[in-house]
Amino acid sequence: MPDIDCVQIPFATQPEARPRTAPRPCFTGRMSSNPTVTVELASSADATALAEVAAVTFPLACPPDAGAADIAAFVADVLSPQRFADYLADPTRTVLAAVADGRIVGYSLLVAAEPNDPDVAAAVTPRPVTELSKLYVLPGHHGHGVAAALMAASLDRARVAAHAGVWLGVNQQNQRAQRFYAKHGFQVVGTKTFLVGAQLHSDFVMQRTF
């Protein structure tokens, strides 16, 4: 359920973004018009900072009927520092970090693999295809082009891999995120479910072809 600034629910307060221990090479691609933000390839040293950003931003992307316990279980299971370390070590996954003043303020996670959900595989037409699994920005950095910069770099990453398109899932109640994705060339092509804790949510499947 990748997302941007969306339906907000009171769940967690925004932490001060963690400084990075060292800058990473910037991904060569189209960046934000805001010169203070860059999009960089994340490294294993960023796992904790990415998990801290994820723990704040994922709850804000959930629909109002999502239970706090289910959200907390998802964050612990899928968005922990160890899980980010696993993602960063996985050759099929790429994590891009949006960095402002040396601190991670957003991220995206790409998966270069065939969709394993049969509903998604049937709905998505381009092959090979990249999944935009996650795209989140800290609330204090909404409206400054950070999400657009992450999207541009994510799409460029898929192009560099010679993939024919990108797909994502977005909660059906999250109209703001759907408008953001449509603005960047994505179209609804199907539906799927998404499990948060013990609660099943309904997503739209959206794709963009190159």
Average pLDDT per consecutive 10 residues, the chain (210 residues; last block may be shorter):
37 46 45 70 98 97 94 98 98 98 97 97 98 97 94 98 98 96 98 97 98
What pLDDT sits at residue 79?
Answer: 98
What pLDDT sits at residue 7?
Answer: 28
What pLDDT sits at residue 93?
Answer: 98
What pLDDT sits at residue 36?
Answer: 82
Residues 26-81 have pLDDT tens digits of 443 344 445 589 999 999 999 999 999 999 999 999 999 999 999 999 999 999 99
pTM of the full structure: 0.86
- The backbone region for 145, taken as left when phi is positive above 0, alpha when psi lies in -120 to 50, beta otherwise, is left
Close Cβ partners of 35 (under 8 Å, ≥ 6 residues apart): none
Give the DSSP letter string of 63-106: -TT--HHHHHHHHHHHSSHHHHHHHHH-TTEEEEEEEETTEEEE
Close Cβ partners of 5 (under 8 Å, ≥ 6 residues apart): 60, 137, 139, 142, 143, 147, 176
What pLDDT sits at residue 20?
Answer: 60
Give the residue among 67, 52, 65 at the shortest CA–CA distance from 13: 52
